[in-house]
Amino acid sequence: MGETSTWGPARLLVLIVVSGLVALAVLAGLVLAVVGALTAEQRDGAGAAPRPAAPATDLSQQDALAAAPMPTADPDTALPGPLSNRAGGVLEVPRATGVGPADVPTGFPRTPEGALAQLAAIDVTAMQTGSMDGVRQVIAEWAAADGPTPQTWSGAHGMASLLSAAGLSGAGSPQLAIVVRPLMGLIKGTVGEEFAVVCVNFEFTVTVEETSRIAIADCQRMAWAGDRWVIGAGAEPAPAPSVWPGTDAALDAGWRELRHG
């Protein structure tokens, strides 16, 4: 594996940012309400009539919400840093009530907090597989029609870069351990009850002979599809800053501590 110093936090930051793991989960974007209905029908084999597509005004609002700029931060703030003494905001998120396709926790309610919890579950499950097959299985089950695929998903590209840099095959290795913890979040906004742009700030830990940690943020457009939240098709929302959870920089960027209700 080479010198252990090459796996210090600074190199891991460059590796993750350049490879696309900052996005972690998906290239998500514009979602039509009908996509959710059609996706559910294809999965369940049901013959119910699809719902009408979202009005053009709703789609314009979704685009505007997703494209609105987010706060920025220096890359160094993604590395572990001093915790703040300030009392930050708290965001209560629901717990999963079951396990869905690709072993992703699910059963979250049709609320913005439910959308955030589902995105966190998708990201955590995919990246902790530590393998190409694992991330591909997750996105194949949790992307809406015309959304990211196992070939185009940023999470798959990021995992490929990580495994390549570690000198590993697509199957990963027992020597590689990836732990992803969703610690902070924010709800950027909603359009109706079935569309939300949500963001999660993760503590991302990679161990290859030694351990390095970094904060990685993921913002996505989430759409309600029948009975669950999925990641939709289209342009990725403006990125949120990847800032070490619990620091002054994280609080200044609007991140709130996640607590399970």
Q: What is the DSSP string of 180-225?
A: EEEEEEEEEEESSSSEEEEEEEEEEEEEESEEEEEEEEEEEEEEEE
pLDDT attached to residue 70:
95
pTM of the model: 0.77
Helix (H, G, I), strand (E, B) or coil at 98: strand
Range 36-46 average pLDDT: 31
Please give the residue that has the higher pLDDT: either 58 or 239: 239
Of 41-50, 64-73, 183-192, 246-255, the one with minimum mean pLDDT is 41-50
Strands (DSSP E) contained in 36-156 are: 90-93, 98-99, 105-106
Greater model confidence, 206 or 235: 206
Return the biggest CA–CA distance within the chain: 60
Helix (H, G, I), strand (E, B) or coil at 24: coil
Overall number of domains in the chain: 1
Q: E strands within the chain?
A: 90-93, 98-99, 105-106, 176-190, 195-208, 210-225, 228-231, 256-260
CA of 110: how far to CAs of 97, 118, 121, 159, in Å?
Answer: 13, 10, 15, 30
Range of the domain at 106: 4-260
> According to the model, what pLDDT value does residue 60 have?
86
Residue 105: helix, strand or coil by DSSP?
A: strand
The pLDDT tens digits of the residues spanning 51-105 come to 334 555 777 898 899 899 999 998 889 999 999 999 889 999 999 999 999 999 9
Contact indicator for 81, 247 with CB cutoff of 8 Å? yes
Over the stretch 206-220, which tens digit does the pLDDT of each residue have? 888 788 898 989 899
Give tens-digit pLDDT for 116-137: 999 999 999 999 999 999 999 9
What average pLDDT score do residues 14-34 get? 34
- Asked if 242 and 22 count as a contact pair (C-beta separation under 8 A), the reply is yes
